[in-house]
Chain A
Amino acid sequence: MTEDLTRFKKRRLHASLSTNAVPSFEEQLALLQENELQESTNADERRHQIWERPNVPKIKPNQDSIIFQQIEVDECVEPKSREPLIRMFGITETGNSVLCYVTGFRPYFYIPEPIGFRENDMAAIQRQFERAINLDNGLTNPIERIELIHKESIWGYHGNKKSPYLKIIFSETKALNSARHILSIKFNDRQLRELTFESNINYVLRFMIDCKVTGANWIELPPKSYNLRNSSRKTSTCQLEIDINYPPENEWSKIAPLRILSFDIECAGRKGIFPEATKDPVIQIANTVTIQGEKNPFIRNVFTLNSCAPIVATDVIEFYDQGEMLQAWRNFVDPDVIIGYNIVNFDFPYLLERAHHLKVKEFPYFGRMKSNFYVKTEAKDTKFSSKAYGARENKFINILYYIKTLQLDMLQVMQRDYKLRSYTLNSVCAHFLGEQKEEVHHSIITDLHNANSETRRRLAIYCLKDAILPQRLMDKLMCLINYMEMARVTGVPFNYLLVRGQQIKVISQLYRKAFEQDLVIPALKSEGSDDQYEGATVIEPERGFYNVPIATLDFSSLYPSIMIAHNLCYTTLLDNRDIENLGFKCDVDYTTTPYNNGLLPTILEDLLSARKKAKADLKKETDPFKKAVLDGRQLALKVSANSVYGFTGATVGKLPCIEISASVTAYGRQMIEKTKQEVENQYTIANGYQHDAHIIYGDTDSVMVKFGVDNLVDAMALGKEASDYVTGKFVKPIKLEFEKVYFPYLLINKKRYAGLYWTNPEKWDKLDTKGIEKQTVRRDNCLLVQNVIETSLRKMLIDRDVAGAEEYVKKTISDLLQNKVDMSQLVITKALSKSDYSAKQPHVELAERMRKRDAVAYVIVKSTKGAAAYEKSEDPIYVLENNIPIDTNYYLENQLSKPLLRIFEPVLGEKAHSLLAGDHTRVVQIATPTIGGLMKFAVKTATCLGCKTPLSKHDTAVCRHCKPKLGELYQRQLDAVNKLEVHFSRLWTQCQRCQGSLHQDILCSSKDCPIWYMRKKAQKDVQDAATLLERFNYAW
């Protein structure tokens, strides 16, 4: 064995030396196996990657406590007694899966004590409620009991006086919902038509708040508090099932050894049709399983239909029946986290529908729950829309609801957290991992599948790579860690983070704090009022190109610190009536209420100080993994702090309070104005400074100051001084910080600027742009726009070469008009939301024509004058193959001109327009397509290769005027052909490297890959040039 190994190793080493390239995907796999073989003492055991969980240690409920990290909390109903239960799914530190049932927790809400209420009216009230609920719902014994307690309403200032409230405790959630309904609408008794409190929070969150359970935290079940279920009573595939009555808590910051399954499926579609689950089989499922925190997946396998040649370091599991394969896969799946790319909208629904079609009965019950007990996994369309994240169509929630594991669809994570041009797996990986992958077009998958076991192997490798990439992405971006931190900080279940918006996080925090301070929160009916309050102030920008340092002063965490400084909260809100009642005097008792600290400021203070702590820890920490956790934590804290302000201003929200958000922005406005005044009054020639300082622009929480000095050192010193000076004028903890100097600085408009960013006088940090990227990275802009703008800015700001930037732009425009610009630069992609677009937009029309689902890539081609944009959109591949002329004017006028003028106008003024017209636009090339109505009738007339005049019949290469130059022209053409041939073969080998084999034909047709377009174009160019060259053969 050892001998074999060393030999193998040597050969490997040799091979990698000779090619001297990045190891291909297969080589990476081989390396993996090598490592494993070395590590493992028993190689035979390791060869079969099985994924039994560790055995459950013997547990004695009377002595041992059980500690696990819960990863999902949800509610269910005990089938017999209809008692509501909390289910917590989790993993112990040793990797055992746990399902914990919590019994005895009852939903409840509060109502204010009715006027004239006495202790012995309790039973009467309960009867009235029960009757009403019965009428509505037919539930028996809906109310368990009613308690009288003393609490304070969060809304408004009450001088710290508690009032009596009735806590109505229900036997099931349905009863609560129905009672809330009755109270606010139907119930006629005058006394009870009051506001309910805390009735609009769901059962799970209520439980988590009351038990201080936060998302993805650790739960400790002390000895004697729980019962283990034996196998006959088990309802799930979890190793441990536990019943407990109301558990206590404990908190650690680790992450349990979660098992993460990343998978991808391949379907054999029919030609030209996107696969449909009812018709097209699933042919391969590739899986990798990784334990959180470990580098490489310990299971790699591929379920394939039909035979498949072996793949190094990978289990190939062959099936000859589709149903069997699906069933085997379902039995295989037992992870704690499922990830993949676009799995919720494609892979999961497809598998489910397929299994349904094949009548694989057990299949829909995958996930943790056993089949006979709970509902089937089903895919349903839901729509999710949040102001912060935008609307996306989803099959999300329901899938997630039934699988009962953590689930991260990397596509959704990407769409949520990153603004990218294209969200295909390939381009995302290229962006974050610097790694390209083959893109096998779905139309040839079937051919590969039907050929032989070697081609199926090829497909399996492709599929496996698609399964591994999401895992690598997740590791690299630390999504899991960040999301877990966010769940812990805000206290919501993990899955809420993907499914719900920002509000739920604030609500969770608010309820938690309120619970501690004996406050109750009214359930306001959300009414979407359009009341607008005045937003942040913007100091009118003085547009232009500044070739002197511009210092930037920022308020750090402006809105949270305003809320803390001025104690703005629900609990400190006074209206005029209250002021009279309490006899407060203006300026003495209110605007800042000294008596008690508000709830929101407390939350914010906690968040901010926690963030400060996390940041401090982060500096000290050396272990990269812990560092990542802390960084995730501080980021989560920052986002949460900022969303508090948004929550109070969300008019359709759960608890909007415009008074608070309006005050916050009002303070913000004052502060910006005051800063401007202070700086401009202090830093003047009159006060002994060299120049008068001038604020050229200010927005929300920052001001840009031109101190007038021409070097960075002075500007930075002044900036620092000014920030301290102004900070002194404000209430703590408001702090004005000097952060950076822009030099030079291009101020285009409100919220639109670019500059070279300096934090120390020696070396600039980066090229910073604001608002410009929004215009250019928008996906309905093509890459060309982005590149031109970026390069121009770089030339202007870093090289300080405005003339060079102009030159560059002109050259690019000229190339565009001559069709020399690469097609990948011109592709426009737009995601498609079926229901939103009824108007005919270019890509919608194309999408219908192409009958595809995802984001659509298209280019604009020439068409009849006055044709609408949608008639001009065309599939890039089709355009490339048929040489259809690109509408270069569209790109010039609709894409390039506006962004270009925007950045050049402040610099060049009126002259900027000369960029778009002039001599460089007078050389154009018009392509001749190979298709189109007339093309099959038209005949090409040869033109002179020297001067382009049409040739008579006897001349083949040049006209008689150009005859003398024949030799020269031939040489030129020959050179051109040679160059193109070299270019093409380079691109070809590039693609072969990418697919990891230099001997096979290339299958890839990735629409995101610039190489692909180049390769296609180069291929065509070589052919065309060679045909031209041939014409010389007859010339003499």
Chain B
Amino acid sequence: MFEARLSQGSLLKKLLEAIKELVTDANFDCNETGIALQAMDNSHVALVSLLLRSEGFHPYRCDRGFSLGVNLNSLSKILKCAGNDDIITLKADDNSADSLSLCFESPNNERVSEYELKLMDIDQEHLSIPETDYDATIIMSSTEFQRICRDLMVISESVSVDVAKDAVVFSAEGEMGSGSVKLKQNPSVDKPEEQVVIELNTSVSLQFSLKYLMNFTKGTPLSDQVMLGLSENMPLLVEYKMDDAGYIRFYLAPKIGEE
């Protein structure tokens, strides 16, 4: 038996919004410790890794590890039927799961809606990016990051990220001109929305596709802050932490030369 009750239903809604653009069908791997999802986008340039810890649910029950094959588009449609404050409960039979049942309860318990989603059998390799120590990590406001991506998208399809000791520069060059945004180190603890923390081992300069970054910033509503991890010739990590409930990580392959 698998059962997971999430008091903050909106979290699940936001999560789905964040990944459904990148992935169409994916397996949710459930086990004792929580629910995880790992999937590459269709063009194999980006990877989503998502973890919802069992601690985030009350209660959480999973007797044995199993996978829920879900068409994310369908799931997202069903989740749209849940109110933002609703409590969401997921249930499935972990021995032979052919459907996932979802139950939405309004906070005052006056409205209870139930849905069933037919599951898919998805045969897919399980891929992940090993954890590494990054040459540079930046913690910054997630809305600021979203804005930078959106602004520079006007100029070009790709962005260069240059990280120095005390500042990070996002710049783009295109047919119509060029643009750049420079953020200085700003460890102010009082205003987290202005905070910029840079940890640097060696300075790095990398290029990424803005189209994908724009997709990643769909995770903005999940967290006030975003963490970027960069190393030469390694994929970029964009991580949104959901307090203790889990995280969502996006990986993006760096653009090499004129490719």
Interface residues of A (CB under 8 A from B): 818, 862-865, 867, 885, 887, 889, 919, 922-926, 928-929, 931-935, 937-943, 947-950, 959, 961
Question: B residues near A, CB below 8 A?
Answer: 21-22, 24-25, 27, 29, 31, 36, 38, 40-47, 64-67, 69, 118-130, 211, 234-235, 251-253
Is the CB–CB distance between A926 and B122 below 8 Å?
A: yes
Name the one of A864, A885, A934 contacting B235, with C-beta atoms under 8 angstroms: A934
Task: Point out the residues of chain A lying under 8 angstroms from B120, CB to CB.
Answer: 922-924
Q: Which interface residue of B21, B42, B47, B211 has the most chain A CB atoms within 10 A?
A: B42
Given the contacts A933-B253, A934-B40, A950 and B29 also touching, CB distance less than 8 Å: yes
Chain B's nearest CB lies how many Å from the CB of A607?
59
Q: A948 to B121, alpha carbons, bound, how many Å?
A: 10
Nearest CB on A from B209, distance (A): 9
Chain B: CB-nearest residue to A942: B126
A885 to B127, CA, bound (A): 15
A-B complex: 9 closest residue pairs judged by Cβ atoms: A933-B253, A932-B44, A862-B42, A933-B45, A949-B65, A928-B125, A925-B123, A923-B121, A941-B126
Decide if B127 touches A939 in the complex (CB within 8 Å): yes
Residues of A within 8 A of B27 (CB): 948
Contacts of A932 in B (CB 8 A): 43-45, 253
Q: Quick check: B46 and A934 within 8 Å, CB to CB?
A: yes
CB neighbours (8 Å) of A934 from chain B are 40, 44-47, 129, 235, 251-253
Do B128 and A926 have beta carbons less than 8 Å apart? no
Known: A922-B120, A928-B125, A950-B29. A935 touches B66 (CB 8 A): no
Chain B residues within 8 Å of A926, by CB: 25, 122-125
CA distance A39 to B21 in the complex (A): 75
Q: Contact at B67–A948, with CB atoms within 8 Å? A: yes
A924 CB contacts on chain B under 8 angstroms:
25, 120-123
B126 x A935 contact (CB < 8 A): no
18 of the cross-chain contacts (CB-CB < 8 Å) are A919-B118, A922-B69, A926-B125, A932-B43, A933-B43, A933-B252, A934-B40, A934-B253, A937-B235, A939-B127, A939-B129, A940-B125, A941-B38, A949-B31, A949-B66, A950-B126, A961-B64, A961-B65
- A938/B121 contact (C-beta < 8 A), A862-B42, A863-B42, A885-B42 known: no
| Least CB distance, B99 to chain A, in whole angstroms | 10
A939 neighbours in B (Cβ, 8 Å): 127-130
Do B44 and A940 touch (CB < 8 A)?
no
Nearest CB on B from A863, distance (A): 5
A420 and B234 alpha carbons, distance in the complex (Å) = 48
Known: A934-B46, A934-B253, A937-B251. A864 touches B41 (CB 8 A): yes
- For residue A611, give the distance in angstroms from its CB to the closest CB of chain B: 58
Residues in B with CB closer than 8 Å to A922 are: 69, 118-121
For B40, list chain A residues within 8 Å (CB). Answer: 928, 934, 938
Q: Give Cα A6–Cα B248 distance, bound, in whole angstroms.
A: 82
With A925-B124, A928-B124 already in contact, 11 other A-B pairs whose C-beta atoms are closer than 8 Å: A862-B42, A862-B43, A863-B43, A865-B22, A928-B127, A932-B253, A934-B252, A942-B126, A948-B67, A949-B66, A959-B65
Question: A834 CA to B126 CA in the complex, in Å?
Answer: 43
Most chain A C-beta atoms within 10 Å of own C-beta, residue among B69, B120, B123: B123
Residues of A within 8 A of B252 (CB): 933-934
Whether the Cβ atoms of A937 and B124 lie closer than 8 Å is no
Cβ 8 A contact of A947, one of B38, B66, B235: B66
**In whole angstroms, what is the CA distance A924 to B72 when docked?**
14
A976 and B118 alpha carbons, distance in the complex (Å): 30
A994–B205 alpha-carbon span in the complex (Å): 55
Q: Across the interface, do B128 and A938 meet the contact criterion of CB distance under 8 Å?
A: yes
Q: What B residues does A947 contact at CB under 8 A?
A: 65-67
In the complex, what residue of chain A is closest to B209 when comparing beta carbons? A933
**Interchain CB contact (< 8 A) of B211 among A864, A933, A941, A942:** A864
Neighbour of A949 across the interface among B24, B29, B253, CB < 8 A? B29
Contact A864 B125 (CB under 8 A): no
Q: How far is the CA of A844 from the CA of B73 in the complex (A)?
A: 32
Q: From residue A659, how far is it (CB to closest CB) to chain B in Å?
A: 58
Residues of B with C-beta under 8 A to A937 = 129, 234-235, 251, 253
Question: In the complex, what's the smallest C-beta–C-beta distance from B28 to chain A, in angstroms?
Answer: 11
Q: Find chain A residues with CB under 8 A from B38 CB.
A: 941
- A924-B120, A937-B129 are contacts. A864–B65 as well, Cβ < 8 Å? no
A319 to B120, CA, bound (A): 65
Residues of chain B lying within 8 A (CB to CB) of residue A940: 125-127
CB contacts (< 8 Å) of A943 on chain B: these are 125-126
Residues of chain A within 8 A of B24, CB atoms compared: 889
Closest A residue, CB atoms, query B20: A865
CB neighbours of A941 from chain B (8 A): 38, 126-128
Q: B43 and A864: CB pair below 8 A?
A: yes
CA distance A346 to B75 in the complex (A): 55
B55 CB → nearest A CB, Å:
20
A residues within 8 A CB of B234? 937
Nearest CB in chain B to that of A865: its residue = B21
Shortest beta-carbon distance from B134 to chain A in Å: 13
Tell me, rounded to whole Å, the shortest Cβ–Cβ distance linking A798 to chain B: 34
A884 (CB) vs chain B CBs: closest residue: B44
Query: In chain B, what residue has the closest Cβ to A885?
Result: B42
B46 contacts which chain A residues (CB < 8 A)?
933-934
B125's closest neighbor in chain A, by CB? A928
A887: B residues at CB distance < 8 A: 42
Q: How many Å from the CB of A938 to the closest CB on chain B? A: 4
Contact among B67, B69, B129 for A938, CB-based, below 8 A: B129
**Chain A residues in 8 Å Cβ range of B67:** 947-949
Q: How far is the CB of B50 from chain A (nearest CB, A)?
A: 14
Q: Looking at the assembled complex, report how far the CB atom of B42 sits from the nearest CB atom of chain A, in whole angstroms.
A: 4
Nearest opposing residue in chain B for A947, CB measure: B66
- Closest residue of chain B to A932 (Cβ to Cβ) is B44
Say how far A960's CB is from chain B's closest CB, in angstroms: 9
Complex-state Cα separation, A865 to B72, whole angstroms: 14
Q: State the CA gap A938–B47 with chains docked (Å).
A: 9
CB distance from A872 to the nearest CB of B (A): 9
With A923-B120, A934-B235, A949-B66: A865-B42 Cβ-Cβ less than 8 Å: yes
Question: Using Cβ atoms and an 8 Å threshold, which residues of chain A touch B253?
Answer: 932-934, 937
* Chain B residue at minimum C-beta to C-beta distance from A936: B253
A863 to B46, CA, bound (A): 11
Chain B residues in 8 Å Cβ range of A925: 122-124
Least distance between B41 CB and chain A CB atoms (Å): 7
A935–B251 alpha-carbon span in the complex (Å)? 11
Q: Residue on A with the closest CB to B22?
A: A865
B130: nearest chain-A partner, CB-CB:
A939
Contact partners of A948 in chain B: CB under 8 A: 27, 67, 123
Chain A residues near B29 (CB-CB < 8 A) = 949-950
Output the least CB separation between A821 and chain B (Å): 15
Q: In the complex, what distance in Å separates the CA atom of A949 from the CA atom of B41?
A: 20
Question: Which residues of chain A have C-beta atoms less than 8 A from B42's C-beta?
Answer: 862-865, 885, 887
B52 vs chain A, min Cβ distance (A): 15
A contact residues around B128 at 8 Å (CB): 938-939, 941
Q: Shortest beta-carbon distance, A927 to chain B, in Å?
A: 8
Q: Which residues of B contact A867 (CB under 8 A)?
A: 43
Q: How far is the CB of A194 from chain B (nearest CB, A)?
A: 61
Complex Cα gap A923–B120 (Å): 6
- List the A side residues contacting B251 at CB < 8 Å: 934, 937
CA–CA, A864 and B253, complex, Å: 14
Q: How far is the CB of B14 from chain A (nearest CB, A)?
A: 19
Q: Name which residue of chain A comes closest to B120, CB basis.
A: A922
A928: nearest chain-B partner, CB-CB: B125
| Contact indicator B65/A935 (Cβ below 8 Å) | no
Task: Provide the bound-state CA to CA distance between A867 and B66, in Å.
Answer: 33
Distance (Å) between the CB of A915 and the closest chain B CB? Answer: 17
Shortest A124–chain B CB gap in Å is 71
Q: Give B132 Cβ to nearest chain A Cβ, in Å.
A: 9
In the complex, which residue of chain A has the Cβ closest to the Cβ of B127?
Answer: A938
User: For residue A863, which residues in chain B have a CB less than 8 angstroms away from its CB?
Assistant: 42-43
CA distance A943 to B29 in the complex (A): 11
Q: With the chains together, A885 CA to B64 CA distance in Å?
A: 31
Greatest chain A CB density within 10 A among B29, B43, B127 is at B43
